[in-house]
Chains A and B, each alone.
Chain A
């Protein structure tokens, strides 16, 4: 990578994402309102069900990670959706930018926003529902967050590929895909309660292992001997595959005229 030219290209996408978020009142909603609603509703439900503190923590970890991942992947997904909505896609791809610039630039803002959501939700959980987020220690927290952001990047990259292939129509499919992934990885329940066949699918989702790793600090058993090795290696493989997929769809978009069509 040639600095600082590459740095400015990355910064272009990061600054654009940050500016759009700053000017969009719904971005605040995304970061505060919905995560707040999630914590309150899930937390109060656990109270109503009179669950023991460990089970409450188990469920709240699911709620925190779901919202953190959803917000973190948004900026990556929006990287191209902003251009599609503005019909300016051809100008972006007319410039000498590479996929890495888009992914890193937009991903950076997603990471910051995701981190903020994690902090807000974590604090709310600690304050309202006595969840002890400090138990896994700084290392455990950082590893868990890294895992969540890797999963967010995978979802975001898949959305990018879908947008490049199908345009705006892909949005719904993209959100559906991310919810399906979150459903299968055992957010609010142990993977063991999933029906046979579906349970195997959970094993190929990296977030399953990161949740398992984080929850073991709270006394829940590990189902695999090396969850972090599985989680990180799967994440790296998927990220590489997603990168190749987005590259391929971009090449195909130049072949099919999608870049022009999405700019009309």
Chain B
């Protein structure tokens, strides 16, 4: 797998007003993203997610550090890079008086498409995002969902090798958001398109991203796959055992894979490294003590917990 993005020591600050002080938004961010992956950047508001993605998308110049996207320097080779990447952001905004089709044609031309190649690409995208019935509707008359679909269609007009998605489903109703997530997954699976997305929606990141990174106060504080982050933060799955007549004399803390344990009446709450793997041996150990488990509740650790742990 090739490396799609290498960012080293990216720093960026903005001046507030003409004579105001500079506010540091990114403080030496390092990141490497493999090709063909869906990589998520998470973080609270003001963490620097959009600034970081905008630097990689050549919309902003970094103050310090350097970044290479698809092997090209984001500053020196910006022109060539722009031909191979694209961006869709939340709150889609396009020229209000152009129709869906005209907007796509406009952006297609900006990427040097014309004639039959443009017509066929526009047709393909209209069909892919179910925009054909709306192709003659002006942008200002579209619903939020349709606007967002147009934004995604526009982002694919140049058949990019890497797609930046900045909060792509923000402001959409759950059904439409789910539909778009499905589209993003399908695109990645079928075309091998590398996707770097920022999101507030942790479920979305969990569903889409193989790997995530957390930005906080302009610093990258953690990155990895879910199991990696879970292990690093000492977070585990939750296992609750409900007993008919008390948990018995078993020392739950000494069982393999148990990270923490708490007994409350007839219930034992355990945090284990991997619930799927540990449940059977734990139940066997309980059975040996002749305690009777009447109910088991399993809850896998989710990104929300990891996010909470990191941002605190």
Residue A247 lies at the interface, judged by CB distance under 8 Å to chain B: no
* Chain A residue at minimal CB-CB distance from B88: A91
Residue A130 lies at the interface, judged by CB distance under 8 Å to chain B: no
Q: Is the CB of A88 within 8 A of B95?
A: yes
Across the interface, A15 reaches (CB within 8 A) one of B15, B109, B111, namely: B109
Stretch in A5-13, A34-42, A170-178, A205-213 touching the partner: A5-13
* Number of A interface residues in the complex (CB < 8 A): 37
Interface of A is mostly: helix
Task: For residue A183, give the distance in angstroms from its CB to the closest CB of chain B.
Answer: 29
Residue B129 lies at the interface, judged by CB distance under 8 Å to chain A: no
Residue A19 lies at the interface, judged by CB distance under 8 Å to chain B: yes
Across the interface, A90 reaches (CB within 8 A) one of B15, B59, B96, B102, namely: B59
Residue A32 lies at the interface, judged by CB distance under 8 Å to chain B: no
Stretch in B79-87, B175-183, B298-306 touching the partner: B79-87
CB-CB < 8 A to A219: which residues of B? Answer: none
* Chain B residue at minimal CB-CB distance from A102: B110
Q: Say whether, besides A4-B114, A257-B14, A263 and B95 are in contact (CB < 8 Å).
A: no
A16–B103 CA distance with the chains assembled, in angstroms: 9
A83–B83 CA distance with the chains assembled, in angstroms: 20
Q: Say whether, besides A15-B106, A96-B83, A254-B60, A82 and B95 are in contact (CB < 8 Å).
A: yes
CB-CB < 8 A to B107: which residues of A? Answer: 12, 91, 95
CB-CB < 8 A to B158: which residues of A? Answer: 95
Point out which of B82, B97, B113 has the most chain A C-beta atoms below 10 A from its C-beta. Answer: B97
Q: Is the CB of B94 within 8 A of A94?
A: no
Q: Say whether, besides A90-B59, A96-B79, A96-B82, A8 and B97 are in contact (CB < 8 Å).
A: no
A242–B143 CA distance with the chains assembled, in angstroms: 40
A146–B107 CA distance with the chains assembled, in angstroms: 31
* Chain B residue at minimal CB-CB distance from A10: B109
Q: Is the CB of A8 within 8 A of B93?
A: no
Stretch in B50-58, B216-224, B280-288 touching the partner: B50-58
A255–B80 CA distance with the chains assembled, in angstroms: 19
CB-CB < 8 A to A9: which residues of B? Answer: 109-110, 112
CB-CB < 8 A to A16: which residues of B? Answer: 95, 98, 106
Q: Say whether, besides A94-B82, A96-B82, A86 and B96 are in contact (CB < 8 Å).
A: yes
Q: Say whether, besides A4-B114, A24-B97, A94-B58, A256 and B14 are in contact (CB < 8 Å).
A: yes
* Chain A residue at minimal CB-CB distance from B82: A96
Q: Is the CB of B110 within 8 A of A12?
A: yes
A242–B47 CA distance with the chains assembled, in angstroms: 37
A31–B105 CA distance with the chains assembled, in angstroms: 27
Point out which of B14, B96, B107, B110 has the most chain A C-beta atoms below 10 A from its C-beta. Answer: B110
* Chain B residue at minimal CB-CB distance from A12: B109
- Restricting to A73-96, which residues have a CB under 8 Å from any CB of B? 82-83, 85-88, 90-96
Across the interface, A20 reaches (CB within 8 A) one of B60, B97, B112, namely: B97
Point out which of A91, A96, A256, A260 has the most chain B C-beta atoms below 10 A from its C-beta. Answer: A91
* Chain B residue at minimal CB-CB distance from A82: B95
A36–B114 CA distance with the chains assembled, in angstroms: 39
Residue B154 lies at the interface, judged by CB distance under 8 Å to chain A: yes
* Chain A residue at minimal CB-CB distance from B85: A94
CB-CB < 8 A to B94: which residues of A? Answer: 86, 88, 91
A8–B112 CA distance with the chains assembled, in angstroms: 5
A15–B113 CA distance with the chains assembled, in angstroms: 14
Residue B61 lies at the interface, judged by CB distance under 8 Å to chain A: yes
Across the interface, B98 reaches (CB within 8 A) one of A19, A90, A263, namely: A19
- Restricting to B39-98, which residues have a CB under 8 Å from any CB of A? 50-51, 54, 57-61, 79-80, 82-83, 86-87, 89, 93-98
Measured CB to CB, the residues of A under 8 A from B are 4-9, 11-12, 15-16, 19-20, 23-24, 82-83, 85-88, 90-98, 251, 254-257, 259-260, 263
Q: Can you list 12 A-B contacts with CB-CB less than 8 angstroms, sorted by A residue number?
A: A4-B114, A8-B118, A11-B109, A12-B107, A15-B109, A16-B98, A24-B97, A93-B59, A94-B86, A97-B110, A257-B51, A263-B93
Smallest CB-CB A-B distances: 10 pairs? A5-B112, A12-B109, A87-B93, A95-B110, A8-B114, A96-B82, A8-B109, A86-B95, A96-B83, A23-B97
Q: Other than A19-B98, A257-B54, give 20 A-B pairs with Cβ distance below 8 A.
A: A4-B112, A4-B114, A8-B113, A11-B114, A15-B105, A16-B95, A88-B95, A90-B54, A94-B82, A95-B82, A95-B107, A95-B110, A96-B83, A96-B112, A254-B58, A254-B59, A257-B14, A257-B60, A259-B60, A260-B50
